[in-house]
């Protein structure tokens, strides 16, 4: 990482910003320097926006709320250099952390910035100027007043708006993602109307950064589900239009978001068991279809089941890798995981064949329903074996972190 520092003077409050009447006075005594608030900004090729963003922060954050700004940068352009140049005109400390290995995407960048914060309050915002820095004092003031650990800037409460979303398609996607996350996590997201917001303040004492396992850009969702603070408050905000450049929201990011949702929802052993069962049930389709086709061609059901089982193995392994144990894939190489998974699945087959034979010859069942019943009966054993022998980290690798992808700013 490279670190760029600027001088440490404090900006005097600009009366033209209009916050004197709107924002309660803050008690910042006793808060350790270098500031009362650390603003963490993850960036990925935002060189056209960061100068404007620093200017807005300078104009918006009053002297009674001293701040520092930490950019965590995964850019492939000249964004770090532009930040360093613009920081020369800022009356507060500005730091650039450029990551050569962008682990965890944009969410990983935010966590990296949180770990370096020197203030009681951490405000997270995007670098494209769609999150108004003028709201930073109100986020902190609301947290102080409500004794909250997390304050979310929401587009979906009175006074908020998603006006800056480019078109009806992005509005529909944003609304759909919000509905889906709240449906999947009704308890954890209680009191959070906008879990897709990338603009929020969190009290450092309520944050357990080590518990976070971000994938992609929805770090608030990750924080709320894995490390929810004791109390949550919200303030309305109007989502602005992007100042420059283009949104990095893509179909690929959408898929990463869905994988992240699946990983969060299956983080508990019981949820993983249910997820494993659903994936296994979906594997019935290729398994039984293959068995039906092979027996129709005249093959005996025993070798037909051995061959058809490999279709189910491949199908299940693909879904389990992507949806259930994605955060544990770094513990072993892919061919090691595949080999272990296939070995378990086929060992399970060895156990199932006598059971299938019993059901066929003793109870007169057909090959297909007998196979389906045997799959259900051995399900729990397959789940325990998969978790313990394929995805449980080896002792010497427990500190190893999964490798991520470059952070991509989306809104």
Looking at the structure, tell me whether residues 40 and 67 fall in a common domain: yes
Average pLDDT over residues 66-85: 91
Looking at the structure, tell me whether residues 186 and 280 fall in a common domain: no
Give the global pTM. Answer: 0.63
What token pair was written down for 34?
């270098």
Domain contains 139: yes
Q: How many CB atoms lie within 10 A of CB 310?
A: 16
Domain end, chosen from 241, 265, 289, is at 265
Domain end, chosen from 265, 290, 324, is at 265
Residue 121 has pLDDT above 90, yes or no: yes
Give the separation between CA 81 and CA 281, rounded to whole angstroms: 53
Judge residue 317's burial from the number of C-beta atoms within 10 Å of its C-beta, 0-12 exposed, 13-18 middle, 19 or more buried: buried
Looking at the structure, tell me whether residues 127 and 204 fall in a common domain: yes
Looking at the structure, tell me whether residues 216 and 337 fall in a common domain: no
Domain contains 404: no
Looking at the structure, tell me whether residues 303 and 253 fall in a common domain: no
Looking at the structure, tell me whether residues 21 and 86 fall in a common domain: yes
List CB contacts of 67: < 8 A, sequence separation 6 or more: 35, 36, 37, 38, 39, 57, 61, 92, 119, 136
Whether the CB-CB separation of 220 and 196 falls below 8 Å is answered with yes
Domain contains 313: yes
Binning pLDDT at 50, 70 and 90, where does residue 72 land?
A: very high
Looking at the structure, tell me whether residues 246 and 328 fall in a common domain: no
Whether the CB-CB separation of 33 and 118 falls below 8 Å is answered with yes
Looking at the structure, tell me whether residues 202 and 336 fall in a common domain: no
CA angle 355, 358, 361 (to 5 degrees): 145
Domain end, chosen from 211, 245, 265, is at 265
* DSSP label at residue 68: E
Q: By residue range, what is the domain housing residue 351?
A: 269-395
Domain contains 183: yes
Looking at residue 382, its pLDDT comes to 80
Looking at the structure, tell me whether residues 72 and 133 fall in a common domain: yes
Number of domains in the chain: 2
CATH number at residue 253: 3.90.550.10
Average pLDDT over residues 86-91: 90
Looking at residue 31, its pLDDT comes to 37
Mean pLDDT of the chain: 78
Looking at the structure, tell me whether residues 128 and 251 fall in a common domain: yes
Domain contains 410: no
Domain contains 400: no
Give the separation between CA 266 and CA 272, rounded to whole angstroms: 5
Looking at the structure, tell me whether residues 246 and 310 fall in a common domain: no
Average pLDDT over residues 258-264: 72
Higher per-residue pLDDT: 307 or 33: 307
Q: Among 1-5, 92-96, 180-184, which is the least confidently predicted range?
A: 1-5
Looking at residue 22, its pLDDT comes to 38
Domain contains 411: no
Domain contains 100: yes
**Smallest Cα–Cα separation from 280: which of 371, 351, 367, 376?**
376
Higher per-residue pLDDT: 408 or 343: 343
Looking at the structure, tell me whether residues 247 and 106 fall in a common domain: yes
């Amino acid at each position: 990482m490279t670190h760029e520092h600027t001088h440490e003077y404090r900006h005097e409050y600009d009366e033209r910003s209009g916050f004197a009447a709107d924002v309660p006075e803050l008690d910042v005594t006793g808060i350790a320097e270098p500031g009362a608030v650390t603003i963490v900004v993850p960036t990925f090729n935002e060189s056209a926006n960061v100068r404007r963003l620093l200017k807005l922060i300078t104009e918006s954050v009053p002297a009674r709320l001293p701040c520092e700004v930490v950019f965590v940068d995964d850019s492939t352009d000249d964004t770090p250099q532009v930040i360093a140049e613009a920081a020369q005109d800022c009356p507060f400390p500005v730091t650039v952390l450029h990551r050569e290995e962008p682990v965890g995407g944009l969410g990983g960048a935010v966590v990296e910035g949180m770990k370096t914060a020197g203030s009681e309050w951490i405000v997270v915002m995007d670098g494209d100027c769609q999150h108004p820095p003028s709201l930073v004092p109100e986020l902190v003031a609301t947290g102080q007043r409500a004794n909250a650990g997390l304050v979310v800037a929401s587009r979906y409460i009175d006074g908020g708006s998603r006006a800056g979303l480019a078109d009806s398609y992005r509005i529909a996607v944003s609304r759909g993602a919000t509905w889906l996350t709240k449906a999947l996590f009704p308890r954890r997201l209680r009191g959070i109307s906008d879990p897709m917001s990338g603009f929020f303040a969190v009290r450092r004492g309520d944050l357990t950064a080590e518990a976070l396992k971000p994938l992609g850009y929805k770090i608030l969702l990750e924080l709320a589900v894995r490390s929810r603070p004791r109390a949550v408050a919200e303030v309305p905000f109007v989502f602005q239009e992007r100042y420059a450049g283009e949104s990095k929201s893509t179909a690929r990011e959408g898929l990463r978001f869905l994988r992240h949702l699946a990983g969060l929802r299956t983080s508990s052993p019981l949820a993983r068991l249910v997820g494993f069962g659903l994936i296994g049930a979906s594997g019935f389709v290729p398994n039984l279809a293959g068995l039906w086709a092979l027996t129709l061609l005249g093959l005996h059901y025993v070798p037909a089941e051995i061959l058809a089982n490999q279709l189910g193995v491949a199908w299940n392994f693909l879904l389990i890798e992507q949806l259930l144990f994605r955060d544990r894939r770094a513990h072993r190489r892919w061919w090691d995981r595949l080999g272990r998974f296939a070995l378990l699945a086929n060992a399970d087959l060895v156990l199932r064949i006598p059971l299938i034979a019993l059901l066929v010859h003793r109870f007169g069942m057909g090959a297909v329903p007998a196979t389906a019943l045997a799959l259900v009966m051995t399900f729990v054993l397959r789940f325990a074996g998969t978790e313990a022998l394929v995805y449980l980290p080896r002792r010497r690798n427990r500190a190893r972190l999964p490798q991520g992808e470059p952070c991509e700013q989306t809104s």
